[in-house]
Chain A
Amino acid sequence: MNSTILKTAANYLLPILLLFSIFLLLRGHYHPGGGFVGGLIASIAFVLHSFTHGTEATLRLLRIHPGVLIPAGLGLSALSMFAPMISGKPVMTGLWIEEPLPVIGIIGSALFFDLGVYLVVVGVVLTILFTISQYSE
């Protein structure tokens, strides 16, 4: 697509949408949002970029292949699932820190689980879309 306006807009929209997706991820526990929708928004940010600049440019921007995010996310989620077992608690017990952190607030193992979901969603969507778009070209 050779629209200069869209191209310029995409350059600005990418960081904004990514920030928004992280915002959705972090607020998920108290307000509408969460890892799944956050991941989808982040994917849309990259897809928009790839529409205006081409898939190759987006892949260069990402530096790593989005497929790498899938095992990373799965690993993170699994880790947060099994982490309570170290202290002898059942799998998936929620672990929380005592004192809230500045800005982010109180965090627990559920956040890391959600972060894993976020990464998997981004990885899956981008892998599927980029593979198909490269195949189509």
Chain B
Amino acid sequence: MLAAVLSGLVVSVLYIPFGKYLRGRLAVVAAGLPIVLFGYFARFIPSVAAGSTIAFHVPWVPSLGINLDFRLDGLSLLFSLLITGIGSLVYIYAFSYLKGHRYLDRFYAYLSLFMAAMLGLVLADNVLLLFIFWELTSISSFFLIGFNNESAASRKSSLIALGVTGGGGFLLMAGLVWMGYAADTYSIREMMAVSPALKDDTYYGFIVALILAGAFTKSAQFPFHFWLPGAMKAPTPVSAYLHSATMVKAGIYLLARLTPVLGGTDVWMYTLMAVGGVTMLYSAFHSLFRTDLKAILAYSTIAALGMLVFLIGIGTPEAFLAAVVFILVHALYKASLFLTTGVIDHETGTRDVTALSGLRTVLVPLAVAGLLAALSSAGIPFTFGFIGKDLIYEATLHMPGLLSVVLTALAVSTNVLVLYAGFVAGIKPFAGPLPQPFRHVHLPSALLWAPPLLLALLGLLFGCLPSLVDDALLNPAVRAMAHAVSGTPLKIWHGFNLVLLLSGVTIAAGGILFWARKPSSQSESWISRFDSAAPRHVMARAAYYARMVARRYTHTLHNGFLRVYLLRIIAFAVLLLAFRLFSGGPVRFTLDHVSPVTAYEIAVAAILIAAIFLAVTTSSRLTAVVATSVIGYCICLQFVFYSAPNLAMTQFSIDTLTVVLFVLVLFRLPPFLNFPNRGARIRDWTVALAFGAVIALIAIQVLNQPFDGTVSRFYGDNAYTLAKGKNVVNVILVDFRGFDTMFEIVVLSIAAIGVFSLLKLRLTASEKE
């Protein structure tokens, strides 16, 4: 199973060296990957239907609880089959749709990466592993949405998508880690066992809030829904893939997966029902005002996602069954509608629904696909959508008391609007007379029309024979979410009852709406008046202000003047050290342990003080540098007096080289600045004196501490016996602490590379001028 998940990642990497051979006709071989994977997962249908789960475990970072744990149960299998199945069709479709595109290889690389990430996400049993794949889907979808990278709008919408889903991912990570900490395990399977304890945890509310934030951003729930319509800038195959079966369903998957762990509480249920309900009604209503086919589909997708969240929130086995059925229903009809729209766009050059009509005469198979998909989305009998809609109504009607009325009303009104959206997208472009400009339109290659037709026909097939998928796919998925399963098999006909009546009402109302209302650009501009209050604009403004604050902050703290950095660093160090020094009461020290002062030392100290005085008062930079090196040499002499020859030797060499370095760069510096500003001088004096005083105090304080000679005694005793050396300093450097030395020379090398590359880059740039 690891191979199945990783194959997409490996393939996407292989596109880097071999991609250029796979841009032309050979590109179609890319479709082999999802087809093989689909076959691989399809093999598991019988065993998973029989109730077994397939687990796979490889330790990765066991000390952190991160392991490559994969687990295939009903829910994972359903999603895996959707990902690879619809993936296969999208791969094939994209080959024709993007034929001759110069970056076709890149497209398949991103798509393979995305598919692998989705598979990993739905198969992972470890929440941290799940999170890694979750982030991978965000990143790879960023590349897919921004695939037309020459278009500024496309780049912007991919950034928005990344910002929203990435921000949600950040919160999700916090939630998952917190949950793992509370449950003392990162395995979802083990979390289920401690679910009651988790729900009683003090921080349960925080965990749920963080995890829901992740799921809601990913699944485009209100008020984070706005990235999804923007993501329609992607090539249509990408939209079809991301928004029917994969990306946005990741949040739904997460909610379904964590229902047995966190679900069943009031917080969980009411939040999900409220957010899902608002989302589905809000966005279904919005789809009324759109004229772009993809925008209509985008809003009806959000409505469907809201419906799924809403159903998971209801939390009865019936609702879970309805949700699982609806996932499949929606994937089939929405992918089909998106792919149909793609062909219409490809052949006519427009997606404006007010301009399109009569295409049934020229695009026959697509007209069939569009019609079937629209019927399924409307829930007309004998389509799979009909079964899905019935189950939804059953789930809402079985809620207690007033809640059932409210929820059913919500579901019915959303479905009416979704029916309208489906009809506009699937039927409207094909109905009516064929306008003159579209007469030249001809049917494209079968690679473009077969995938949507196949998906639409599957919707019809499952609608007529629900037993095909009932026990094989749907019930195992429900079992993964709830312990009890409703048991009743899916039926086409439930007899005359309230559910059927509601279905009829939905279809009738939607039909009337479709007949009475024509999409127009007037209504679209009318709704755009409310844009400034839309969540998209609120968040854009928030992002703008965050950027402004960051800029101001950076500008203040990081202004590019080395002297300012030095001043701040030293001032901060002084404050910190002084606080630490004086926080333990007044500083006391004695000079008892200090050895007597010799005449040499007095002489050297006098030179040192004179050099300091010269360095700070001179107006010549060269003099200042030389004076500084005199200070260095004086310190070296002190080392010599106290018999530290290694240190003295090294310090002498370093001081010499520092002077050379200074001299080399000296005449590139601006003329010596004599600060006329008294305030600045006083400030610098204060900081310098304070720093000197604090360091001196600390040095004297250190002398007063009892000297612990354990370490130096160890080195002294063992240098010769263990390392065959008499120079203890050198033995420490090359043997006892050899690792430190190794890292130090690595750091030195990095510094040299830095200087070299910075200056050489500048050289070539100036040579060009």
Interface residues of A (CB under 8 A from B): 24, 28-37, 40-41, 43-44, 47, 51, 67, 70-71, 73-74, 77-78, 81, 92, 94, 96, 106, 108, 110, 113-114, 116-117, 120-121, 123-125, 127-129, 131-136
Contacts and interface: CB of A to CB of B under 8 A. Distances in A.
B575 interface: no
Interface string B35-66: 00000000000000000000000000000000
Interface stretch (B576-584, B595-603, B752-760): B752-760
A117 B741 contact: yes
Contacts of B650: 36-37, 40
Given A30-B725, A34-B730, 16 more contacts: A28-B727, A28-B734, A33-B646, A34-B734, A47-B660, A73-B745, A74-B746, A77-B742, A94-B724, A114-B734, A123-B752, A127-B752, A131-B756, A131-B759, A135-B762, A136-B668
23 contacts: A29-B724, A30-B725, A30-B726, A32-B729, A36-B733, A37-B653, A40-B657, A43-B653, A43-B657, A47-B660, A77-B741, A78-B742, A92-B738, A96-B724, A108-B724, A110-B738, A114-B734, A117-B734, A129-B660, A131-B759, A134-B763, A135-B762, A136-B665
Contacts of B751: 124, 128
A108 B646 CA distance: 21
B748 A81 contact: no
Contacts of A125: 657
Interface size class of B (residues with CB under 8 A): 35 or more
Nearest to B646: A32
A18 B6 CA distance: 56
Contact of B725 (A67, A70, A110): A110
A92 B661 CA distance: 35
The 6 residue pairs across chains A and B that have the minimum distance between CB atoms: A40-B653, A32-B645, A124-B752, A29-B725, A30-B726, A34-B730
A78 B657 CA distance: 27
Contact of A47 (B657, B722, B725, B756): B657
B748 A124 contact: yes
B667 A40 contact: no
B646 A35 contact: no
Nearest to A29: B725
Contact of A33 (B730, B742, B755, B760): B730
A47 B654 CA distance: 13
Given A37-B646, A117-B734, A120-B749, A129 B726 contact: no
A94 B741 CA distance: 15
A135 B763 CA distance: 7
Interface string B657-675: 1001100110110000000
B735 interface: yes
Nearest to B757: A131
Interface centre among B730, B760, B763 (most CB of A within 10 A): B730
Interface centre among B723, B733, B748 (most CB of A within 10 A): B748
Contacts of A29: 724-727, 730-731, 734
A40 to B, nearest CB: 4
Contacts of A30: 725-727
Given A33-B646, A37-B653, A113-B738, A135 B759 contact: yes
Nearest to B723: A94
Contacts of A33: 646, 649, 727, 730
Given A30-B725, A44-B653, A73-B745, A81 B752 contact: no
A41 B653 contact: yes
B561 interface: no
Interface centre among B722, B745, B751 (most CB of A within 10 A): B745
Nearest to A41: B653
Interface of B is mostly: helix
Contact of B656 (A44, A92, A131, A136): A44
Nearest to A107: B724
Interface of B: 645-646, 649-650, 653-654, 656-657, 660-661, 664-665, 667-668, 722-727, 729-731, 733-735, 738-739, 741-742, 745-746, 748-749, 751-753, 755-756, 759-760, 762-763
A131 B646 CA distance: 29
A34 B756 contact: no
A36 B729 CA distance: 12
A124 B727 contact: no
A135 B664 CA distance: 9
A34 B664 contact: no
B34 to A, nearest CB: 44
Contacts of A120: 745, 748-749
A74 B756 CA distance: 17
Contact of A128 (B661, B723, B733, B762): B661
A33 B763 CA distance: 38
A130 to B, nearest CB: 9
Contacts of B649: 24, 32-33, 37
Nearest to A118: B745
A97 to B, nearest CB: 11
Contacts of B660: 47, 51, 129
Contacts of B760: 131
B752 A70 contact: yes
A96 B752 CA distance: 32
A94 to B, nearest CB: 6
A103 B746 CA distance: 32
Contacts of B755: 127-128, 131-132
B742 A34 contact: no
A107 B651 CA distance: 27
A81 B742 contact: yes
Contacts of B762: 135
A132 B668 CA distance: 10
A117 B721 CA distance: 24
Nearest to B760: A131
A120 to B, nearest CB: 4
Contacts of B727: 28-34
Nearest to B649: A37
A90 B752 CA distance: 31
A128 B757 CA distance: 10
A13 to B, nearest CB: 13
A96 B723 CA distance: 9
A132 B661 contact: yes
Nearest to A25: B730
A31 B742 CA distance: 22
B746 A94 contact: no
Interface centre among A32, A51, A71, A129 (most CB of B within 10 A): A32
A108 B731 CA distance: 12
A35 B668 contact: no
A129 B762 CA distance: 16
A116 B664 CA distance: 27
B656 to A, nearest CB: 6
Contact of B664 (A36, A43, A124, A132): A132
Given A74-B745, A125-B657, A34 B733 contact: yes
Contact of A116 (B645, B661, B745): B745
B646 A121 contact: no
Nearest to B654: A40
A94 B668 CA distance: 47
B749 A34 contact: no
